[in-house]
């Protein structure tokens, strides 16, 4: 009789994946919200009277550096086959990744986390925005347009319930524009990675290494040219307490990626999408409760409308004939990398074949 460990059973693996993804990414999101709003002087000054952290590039850059070396380590340790993409493609993916993560992080300096989270929760919104800009509208279904309408309506309702002061409206608008551009970068990046898959067929570690290398270089260059790097170093020198939260974001994001890969390896992309989508919903609720955001009835209805649209799209896509499936590493829906499910499955299958040759 073959002994089976409890850790080899599907329910246990699912529980590990859910707990890992929830814990790591919920913690990351809540710490990031604190990062852009806390008083790191230790003097507990009143809101609006202390110097705030406003360096969105920092979380992006640290994640890029860490993820690059992780990917490089895995490729070297397991001697994985790598492919050489042309420089234009590499730089384009890096630039789009930088735009997506940097602008999403930077938006937290202007809007509350619930606003950022509900806008970034739906992939269909970024896909439809890119389709509208580049004339791909005929490729999408009526269900997708319905979902896009529900989500957009929910976002508008939520933002209308925000503060009514002039400076609140101006700050919110800057943040919303930043998130919209971030969504466009998401959509274009997804399209580009589909083309990369067909042309080069890289494994996930290849993409992770390449994407984070160029995103990190671009992020570093922009931070130097804009003088944000020097302001960031001055802020950290003045308020060293901020380093603890930056380090926690880096560690928890990395752990989140590990649990994303673990879930992908053991379950379908559909299961992963349910876990990550519900995680975002509960993160919004946690943010509202922990940081005491004032949410009116209309905004609660808006949150519900957004997630109804997301779940309609998610379950509708599941009922359609199987197409190429892919999942995004979160990170900031994570370190800015969208990793193709097919690449991960191929890598997994190649390892199995090596261990168990026919």
Average pLDDT, integer, range 78-83:
87
With beta carbons less than 8 A apart as the criterion, state whether 245 and 58 touch.
no
pLDDT of residue 110: 87
User: In whole angstroms, how far apart are CA 236 and each of 55, 69, 223?
Assistant: 11, 24, 15
Residues 6+ apart with CB under 8 A from 29: 113, 117, 283, 287
Phi and psi at 327, nearest 5°, equal: -135, 155
Q: What integer best gives the mean pLDDT of the chain? A: 81
pLDDT digits (tens, 9 = 90+) for 203-248: 878 888 999 999 999 999 999 999 999 999 999 999 999 999 999 9
* 52: region left, alpha or beta (phi > 0 left; psi from -120 to 50 alpha): beta
pLDDT(16) > 90: yes
Q: Which among 164, 148, 150, 154 is positioned nearest to 117, based on CA atoms?
A: 154
Mean pLDDT of 273-296: 88
**Domain range summary for the chain, segments of one domain joined by +:** 6-321
DSSP 331: B
pLDDT tens-place string over residues 160-205: 776 544 455 556 788 889 999 999 998 898 888 888 888 988 887 8
> How many CB atoms neighbour CB 226 within 10 A?
11
Written as six digits, the tokens of 272 are: 């992963």
- Give the residue with greater pLDDT, 114 vs 353: 114
pTM over 0.75: yes
Query: Bigger pLDDT: 271 or 352?
Result: 271
Q: How confident is the model at residue 332 (pLDDT cuts 50, 70, 90)?
A: very low
Which DSSP category does 240 fall into?
Answer: T
335 phi/psi in degrees, rounded to 5: -65, 35
- Give yes or no for residue 344 having a pLDDT over 50: no
First-to-final CA distance of the chain = 25
Closest C-alpha to 56, from 231, 188, 217, 208: 231
Structure tokens at 339: 């990793």
């Amino acid at each position: 009789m073959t002994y089976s460990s409890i850790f080899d059973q599907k329910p246990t693996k699912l529980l590990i994946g859910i707990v890992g993804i929830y814990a790591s990414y919920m913690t990351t999101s809540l710490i990031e919200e604190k990062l852009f709003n806390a008083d790191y002087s230790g003097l507990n000054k009143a809101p609006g009277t202390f110097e705030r952290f406003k360096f969105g590039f920092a979380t992006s850059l640290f994640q890029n550096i860490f993820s690059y070396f992780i990917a490089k380590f895995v490729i070297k340790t397991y001697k994985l086959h790598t492919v050489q993409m042309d420089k234009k493609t590499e730089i384009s993916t890096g630039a789009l990744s930088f735009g997506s993560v940097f602008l999403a992080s930077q938006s937290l300096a202007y809007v509350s986390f619930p606003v950022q989270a509900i806008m970034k929760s739906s992939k269909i919104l970024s896909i439809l925005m890119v389709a509208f800009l580049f004339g791909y509208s005929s490729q999408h279904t009526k269900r997708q347009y319905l979902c896009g309408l529900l989500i957009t309506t929910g976002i508008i309702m939520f933002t209308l319930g925000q503060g009514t002061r002039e400076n609140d409206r101006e700050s919110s608008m800057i943040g919303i524009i930043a998130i919209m551009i971030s969504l466009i970068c998401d959509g274009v990046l997804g399209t580009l990675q589909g083309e990369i898959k067909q042309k080069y067929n890289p494994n996930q570690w290849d993409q992770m290494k390449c994407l984070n290398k160029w995103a990190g270089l671009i992020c570093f260059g922009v931070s130097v040219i804009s003088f944000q790097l020097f302001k960031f170093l001055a802020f950290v020198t003045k308020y060293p307490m901020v380093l603890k939260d930056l380090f926690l974001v880096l560690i928890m994001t990395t752990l989140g990626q590990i649990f994303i890969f673990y879930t992908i390896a053991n379950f379908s992309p559909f299961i992963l999408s349910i876990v990550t989508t519900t995680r975002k919903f509960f993160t919004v609720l946690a943010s509202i409760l922990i940081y005491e955001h004032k949410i009116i009835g209309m905004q609660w209805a808006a949150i519900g409308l957004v997630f109804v649209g997301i779940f309609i799209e998610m379950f509708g896509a599941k009922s359609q004939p199987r197409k190429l499936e892919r999942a995004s590493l979160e990170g900031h829906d994570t370190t800015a990398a969208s990793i193709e499910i097919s690449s991960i499955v191929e890598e997994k299958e190649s390892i199995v074949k090596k261990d168990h040759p026919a």
